[in-house]
A and B are shown apart, each in its own frame.
Chain A
C-alpha cells in the first residue's frame, strides 16, 4: 500500500512569492492534515480536511490556505511568502471510521520550503 506522497520535496522561493504544496493520502484515507515543522516552534497544526471540508484550523494567518479534492488529495497554499515561512511542511492522512477510530496519523516525507 503506497504511503502519503508529497510534492515537491524541496523548493526555494523568494519573499513575496506564493507556493502550492500537494499531498496524496493513503488510499482509503479521507482525512488529511497539514503541519509546519520548524526548529524554533516545533510541529504546529495548520489545518485538517475531511471529505472536502475544512474540519479544523490552527493558529496561522490567512496567507495559509488549503483545500481537498473529491479524490481526497489535498493542496496547501502560502501566499506572500515571508522568511519565517521557511519550514518542513508535513501532510498526514488518517482513516476515519465512527466508533472505531484510532486517530493515528500517517505522515508523508514532507516538502521543505526555503524562503530567501
Chain B
C-alpha cells in the first residue's frame, strides 16, 4: 500500500528566509504532484513531476523529484507572506494508462510566513 509522508507538518518562517518541505513515499511511482490550499479554499495545482530528476520552478517555489530515493522536495526561496498556505504532495500509484484519479496525498505542510 502506497504511503506518503510529508515533513514538517507545520512550518513557521520569517519573510526572506529559505526552507524545504520533504515528501517521501513508500512504493515505486514516477508521478508526483504538489498542490496548494488556502484556508477554506480548494486545491490549486502547483507542479507536476513525471520523471526521475524532474525539476520545476515557479516564482519562489521549486520542486524536484528523485524516484530512486522516493523523495520530492519543495524549496521555498526568500519567503513572502503570500506563500502562507497548506502545501500537499500527492503520488499516483498508477502509471500512464491506469487510473489517474486516485492520488495518495500527504497530510500537508501548513506554512506560515511572518514579517
A residues engaging B (CB < 8 A)?
31-33, 42-45, 48, 50, 55-56, 58, 90, 92, 94, 96, 98-99, 101-110
30 A-B interface contacts by CB (under 8 A): A31-B100, A31-B101, A33-B101, A33-B103, A42-B107, A43-B88, A43-B105, A44-B105, A45-B101, A45-B102, A48-B100, A48-B101, A55-B99, A56-B101, A90-B43, A92-B101, A96-B100, A98-B97, A103-B31, A103-B33, A103-B48, A103-B96, A104-B45, A104-B48, A105-B43, A105-B100, A106-B45, A107-B45, A108-B42, A110-B42
The interface residues of chain B, by DSSP majority, are classed as loop
* Cα distance A60–B50 in the bound complex, in angstroms: 29
Q: How many residues of B contact A (CB 8 A)?
A: 26
**Cβ of A73 to closest chain B Cβ, rounded Å:** 15
Report A-chain residues with C-beta under 8 Å of the C-beta of B48: 102-104
Contact across chains for B102 and A58 when beta carbons are under 8 A apart:
yes
Q: Which of B41, B96, B103 contacts A99 (CB 8 A)?
A: B96
* Cα distance A92–B88 in the bound complex, in angstroms: 15
Contact across chains for B103 and A45 when beta carbons are under 8 A apart:
yes
Q: B61 on the interface (CB 8 Å rule)?
A: no
Who on chain B is nearest to A44 by CB? B105
* Cα distance A99–B95 in the bound complex, in angstroms: 10
Q: Which of B41, B45, B106 contacts A105 (CB 8 A)?
A: B45
Q: B111 on the interface (CB 8 Å rule)?
A: no
**Cβ of A97 to closest chain B Cβ, rounded Å:** 9
